């Protein structure tokens, strides 16, 4: 597909700049097949998924609160993390150029990719140039976003996922359902079945004890680690100052991929760049504690270009745009690019907890996915574009904002996107989306929870502090749902009434009280 | 699909141009980075040791303490307790640490294929730094730590850490790392919780991590 490029070069500024393009429709894994409400309705019938997810999110939530509560300077770390990411985005051109220079100085090669198709083509070319028809992969959201595995397979290259959960997903011909625990929708018996069917030569008497299943995967993957000559990874950080890349993981499959093959290809979103090596001191505290609820993840690997006698001697860094510059062009929405993919917001989200990751149809599920996905890939005019429904996949309860280690104000971003969608498509499409969303959101408990939180009022106010710009979605919402309150009139009317004002005041107090409680007790009660 | 260009200077200029366009369309506000979090912490030896031990043990690593004179005895015990017979060591390892051990020792080099490392029962390395608050050891591929594959492929890793190199927190420990070196941060043995959230040790890296802390160094 051809598309108008914004400009040939970026060095001089002539006239009004063009808005950078979003991911082309239908490319990669940033769009599901059906709108969120319909997909969610299907997932809601999956009892197993809901049970597993409930347990997973509950467990991780508890661990996260315990280890974040341990640090007296947690809020200061969040402040630093948020500011560092914002500062890095503000200075993105110079930082990317610096990163490129440093990686090149250290013997690496840097490639730039405007979109997923281009990144896929670069990786394919590099793998072929290395003379290999297979690659080992360490879990990477960027490569999943662009559908690299599918593309490699089409080109006759076999990609082997080496993260245990990703392996389960891949062998099960399935899709990941959580950023952090992608196979959480599978239980041990299902995993055993998958292994028996898909791993060649696996012991037929394999039982479903997790340690035995992990051992089977270990034996299977060892062979791949030892024999595959090319690895593909993502990166959690890229340090401009030194050209250092970083991967944070638990299993050691990352270390295997980053160390044993001859060629390493790293695909990194351009928003992952950090200015200084010292900045790692912030993110190596924020990320593991927010993500797995650990003080530190078992393994972190940092590498810079190539090092003689140690690790791959051929290193390639692919810097990926794929809609990121489109998000960057939005003064409000660009906040979503601060995301460090910890998944904390998923684990506290009442909607995610019930419907799971598949309903979002994107590599990025949950609250951040609902914001990031439409920004990267757009909300298309077609009424049934799944991404148009994502900004409604939220109760705006604000738990995600409280949990986010880099303080992304997800509720406000969701409201902003709802607003943008309204502007684009007019009221009727809006009402359709809202009616459908109500099928999921129209649960008295969630509605009441949303109503009770102070955040709703603040989020409603949007970025300029007025609520007048947002009548349609909310009137649509209240018109079409069967909820205890508000019964007859529109949300807007209710909001303007004394009753509404009082409810919001109460909510503000209640929200404050809950947050204070959570801060002092480390208690894990979500607002629901 | 996109044009056939694969990452020539066209893509570079386009992406950088788009980034500049984006920032011109919505000019960012200047951001100061507040660094009010804790840095430069100093804790007395006994507190650092207690914290480090607690955190490592919590991650199911084993901690042995010794004096510099007792290093050889502690290393020998760590290996013998786990039935190791053949171990690998980086070329720059202080060989006096192995004085009390009577098993086979293979010195590693970059010529050894990683596959051969699989025949080792374990590996003994030094370390560059430690972080007490998180129970983390830092390896930076110095001659006494070896290439990254060495501490990865064998199933047992015995890592000798000097307490003087163990810092209280992450910022302090990270400051000891020389940027640009291949660096590995290790916090406990390899682990996964991917199957019904049940923790399993040793998926791909070493299943056993023993940290020998030398308290007078
Ligand atoms: S938005 Fe925040 S909480 Fe959610 S994954 Fe990103 S960094 Fe984590």
Tell me the pLDDT tens digit for each residue of A462-500. 343 333 333 333 433 333 333 333 333 444 444 455 655
Evaluate: CB of A368 within 6 angstroms of ligand 1: yes
What would the pLDDT profile of A79-119 be if each residue is shown by its tens digit? 999 999 999 999 999 999 999 999 999 999 999 999 999 99
In the prediction, which pLDDT does A398 show? 86
Map tokens 């069967």 to a residue: A482
For residue A179, what are the contacts with CB-CB under 8 A and spacing of at least 6? Answer: A141, A341, A342, A343, A346, A357, A364, A365, A366
Nearest CA in chain A to B26: A331
Mean pLDDT for chain A overall: 81
In the prediction, which pLDDT does A500 show? 52
The better pLDDT of the pair A383, A365 is held by A365
Nearest CA in chain A to B108: A309
Confidence band, pLDDT 50/70/90 cuts, at residue B190: confident
In the prediction, which pLDDT does B155 show? 93
Contact B174 A280 (CB under 8 A): yes
Least confident of A67-76, B37-46, B89-98, B196-205: B196-205
In the prediction, which pLDDT does B168 show? 98
Distance from CA of A209 to the nearest CA of B (A): 9
pLDDT reading at B171 higher than 90? yes
Evaluate: CB of A345 within 6 angstroms of ligand 1: yes
The better pLDDT of the pair A376, B168 is held by B168
Residue A232 CA to ligand 1 centre (angstroms):
24
Contact A7 B186 (CB under 8 A): no
pLDDT reading at A215 higher than 80? yes
Contact B184 A301 (CB under 8 A): yes
The partner residue sitting opposite A298, judged by closest CB among B11, B118, B189, is B189
Least confident of A57-66, A144-153, B42-51, B155-164: A57-66
pLDDT reading at A417 higher than 90? no
CA neighbor of B200 nearest in space, from A169, A64, A184, A250: A250
CA neighbor of A170 nearest in space, from A118, A220, A124: A220
| Best mean pLDDT range from A188-192, A347-351, B161-165 | B161-165
Confidence band, pLDDT 50/70/90 cuts, at residue A148: very high
Distance from CA of A214 to the nearest CA of B (A): 6
Contact A163 B110 (CB under 8 A): no
pLDDT reading at A453 higher than 80? no
Evaluate: CB of A338 within 6 angstroms of ligand 1: no
Confidence band, pLDDT 50/70/90 cuts, at residue A450: very low
The better pLDDT of the pair A36, B173 is held by B173
Q: What is the mean pLDDT of the segment spanning B185-201? A: 84
For residue A199, what are the contacts with CB-CB under 8 A and spacing of at least 6? Answer: A171, A216, A217, A220
**Number of H-type helices and E-type strands within chain B:** 5, 12
A231 sits in which H/E element:
strand A230-233
What would the pLDDT profile of A157-208 be if each residue is shown by its tens digit? 999 999 888 889 889 988 877 777 778 788 899 999 999 999 988 999 999 9
Mean pLDDT for chain B overall: 93
Confidence band, pLDDT 50/70/90 cuts, at residue A419: confident
Q: Angle A235-A238-A242 (CA atoms, 0-180°, nearest 5)?
A: 140
Contact B37 A73 (CB under 8 A): yes
The better pLDDT of the pair A104, A13 is held by A104
The partner residue sitting opposite B36, judged by closest CB among A79, A122, A243, is A79
The partner residue sitting opposite B194, judged by closest CB among A19, A165, A256, is A165
Rg of chain B over Cα atoms, rounded to whole angstroms, equals 22
Name the residue with the closest Cα to ligand 1, atom 8.
A342
Angle between helices A92-105 and B9-25 (to 10 degrees): 150
Q: Look at strands B156-162 and B122-125 and give their pairing.
A: parallel
Residue A35 CA to ligand 1 centre (angstroms):
23
What would the pLDDT profile of B24-77 be if each residue is shown by its tens digit? 999 999 899 999 999 999 999 999 999 999 999 998 999 999 999 999 999 999
| Best mean pLDDT range from A216-230, A417-431, A507-521, B85-99 | B85-99
Confidence band, pLDDT 50/70/90 cuts, at residue A382: low
In the prediction, which pLDDT does A410 show? 92
Query: Where does residue A458 rank: exposed (0-12), middle (13-18), buried (19+ CB within 10 A)?
Result: buried
ipTM field: 0.95
d(CA A119, CA A101): 20
Contact B21 A10 (CB under 8 A): yes
The partner residue sitting opposite A9, judged by closest CB among B13, B115, B192, is B13
Name the residue with the closest Cα to ligand 1, atom 4.
A345
Evaluate: CB of A213 within 6 angstroms of ligand 1: no
Contact predicate A442/A354, CB 8 Å: no
Which atom of ligand 1 lies closest to the CA of A341? 5
In the prediction, which pLDDT does A499 show? 58
| Best mean pLDDT range from A47-61, A158-172, A444-458 | A158-172
Evaluate: CB of A342 within 6 angstroms of ligand 1: yes
CA neighbor of B150 nearest in space, from B182, B114, B180, B121: B114
Evaluate: CB of A82 within 6 angstroms of ligand 1: no
In the prediction, which pLDDT does A381 show? 62
Which residue from A80, A237, A334, A342 has its CB within 8 A of the most atoms of ligand 1, so it is best to mutate? A342
Which atom of ligand 1 lies closest to the CA of A343? 5
Residue A336 CA to ligand 1 centre (angstroms):
9
Confidence band, pLDDT 50/70/90 cuts, at residue A388: confident
In the prediction, which pLDDT does A247 show? 97
In the prediction, which pLDDT does A386 show? 80
In the prediction, which pLDDT does B214 show? 98
In the prediction, which pLDDT does A383 show? 57
d(CA B205, CA B156): 9
pLDDT reading at B99 higher than 90? yes
The partner residue sitting opposite A111, judged by closest CB among B7, B175, B185, is B7
Q: What is the mean pLDDT of the segment spanning A493-516? A: 57
With a pLDDT cut of 90, the percent of chain A lying above it is 48
The pair of three-digit structure tokens given for residue A4, joined into one six-digit string: 């108008």
Contact B26 A121 (CB under 8 A): no
Distance from CA of A212 to the nearest CA of B (A): 9
Whole-structure pTM value: 0.84
Residue A328 CA to ligand 1 centre (angstroms):
17
């Amino acid at each position: 597909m051809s598309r108008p490029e914004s400009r040939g070069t970026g060095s001089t500024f002539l006239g009004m700049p063009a808005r950078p393009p979003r991911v082309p429709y239908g490319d990669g894994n940033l769009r599901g097949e059906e709108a969120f409400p319909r997909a969610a309705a299907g997932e809601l019938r999956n009892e197993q998924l809901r049970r597993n997810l409930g347990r997973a999110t509950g467990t991780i939530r508890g661990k996260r609160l315990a280890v974040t509560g341990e640090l007296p300077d947690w809020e200061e770390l969040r402040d630093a993390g948020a500011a560092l990411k914002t500062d890095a985005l503000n200075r993105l051109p110079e930082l990317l150029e610096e990163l490129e220079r440093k990686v090149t100085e250290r013997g690496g090669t840097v490639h730039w990719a405007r979109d997923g198709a281009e990144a896929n083509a670069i990786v394919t070319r590099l793998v072929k140039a290395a003379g290999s028809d297979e690659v080992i992969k360490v879990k990477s959201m960027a490569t999943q976003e662009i559908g690299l595995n599918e593309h490699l397979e089409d080109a006759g290259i076999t990609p082997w996922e080496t993260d245990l959960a990703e392996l389960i997903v891949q062998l099960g011909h399935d899709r990941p359902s959580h950023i952090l625990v992608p196979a959480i929708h599978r239980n041990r018996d299902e995993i055993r079945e998958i292994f028996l069917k898909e791993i060649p030569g696996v012991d037929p008497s394999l039982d479903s004890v997790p340690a035995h299943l992990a051992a089977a995967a270990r034996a299977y993957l060892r062979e791949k680690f030892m024999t595959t000559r090319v690895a593909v990874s993502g990166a959690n950080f890229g340090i401009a100052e030194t050209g250092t890349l970083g991967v944070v993981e638990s299993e050691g499959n990352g270390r295997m991929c980053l160390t044993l093959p001859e060629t390493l290809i790293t695909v990194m979103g351009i928003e992952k760049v950090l200015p200084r090596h010292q900045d790692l001191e912030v993110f190596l505290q924020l990320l593991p504690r927010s993500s797995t609820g650990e003080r530190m993840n078992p393994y972190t690997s940092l590498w810079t270009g190539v090092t003689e006698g140690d690790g791959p001697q051929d290193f390639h860094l692919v810097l990926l745009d794929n809609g990121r510059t489109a998000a960057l062009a939005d003064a409000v929405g660009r906040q979503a690019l601060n995301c460090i993919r910890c998944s904390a917001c998923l684990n506290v989200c009442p909607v995610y907890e019930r419907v799971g990751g598949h309903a979002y149809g994107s590599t990025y599920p949950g609250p951040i996915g609902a914001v990031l996905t439409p920004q990267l890939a757009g909300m298309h005019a077609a009424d049934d574009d799944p991404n148009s429904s994502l900004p409604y996949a939220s109760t705006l309860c604000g738990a995600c904002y409280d949990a986010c280690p880099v303080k992304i104000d997800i509720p406000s971003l969701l409201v902003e996107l709802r607003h943008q969608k309204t502007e684009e498509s007019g009221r009727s499409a809006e009402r359709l989306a809202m009616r459908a969303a109500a099928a999921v959101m129209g649960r008295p408990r969630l509605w009441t929870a949303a109503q009770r939180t102070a955040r709703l009022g603040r989020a409603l106010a949007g970025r300029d502090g007025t609520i007048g710009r947002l009548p349609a979605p909310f009137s649509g919402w209240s018109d079409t749902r069967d909820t205890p309150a508000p019964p007859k009139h529109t949300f807007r009317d209710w909001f303007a009434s004394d009753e509404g004002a009082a409810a919001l005041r109460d909510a503000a107090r209640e929200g404050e009280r809950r947050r204070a409680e959570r801060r002092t007790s480390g208690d894990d009660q979500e607002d629901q | 699909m996109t044009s056939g260009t694969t990452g020539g200077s066209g893509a570079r200029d386009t992406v950088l141009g788009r980034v500049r366009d984006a920032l011109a369309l919505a000019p960012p506000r200047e951001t100061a980075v507040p660094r009010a979090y804790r840095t430069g912490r100093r804790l007395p030896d006994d507190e650092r040791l207690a914290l480090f031990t607690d955190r490592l043990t919590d991650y199911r690593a084993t901690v042995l303490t010794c004096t510099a004179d007792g290093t050889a005895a502690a290393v020998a015990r760590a290996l013998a307790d786990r039935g190791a017979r053949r171990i690998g060591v980086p070329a720059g390892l202080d060989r006096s640490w192995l004085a009390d051990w009577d098993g086979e020792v293979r010195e590693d080099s970059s010529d050894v294929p990683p596959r051969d490392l699989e025949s080792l029962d374990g590996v003994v390395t030094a370390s560059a730094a430690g972080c007490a608050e998180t129970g983390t050891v830092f390896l930076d591929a110095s001659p006494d730590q070896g290439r990254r594959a060495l501490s990865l492929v064998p199933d047992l890793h015995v890592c000798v850490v000097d307490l003087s190199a163990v810092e209280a927190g992450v910022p302090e420990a990270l400051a000891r790392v020389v940027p640009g070196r291949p660096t590995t941060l290790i916090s406990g043995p390899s682990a996964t919780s991917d199957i019904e959230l049940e923790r399993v040790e040793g998926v791909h890296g070493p299943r056993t991590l023993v940290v020998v802390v030398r308290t007078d160094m």
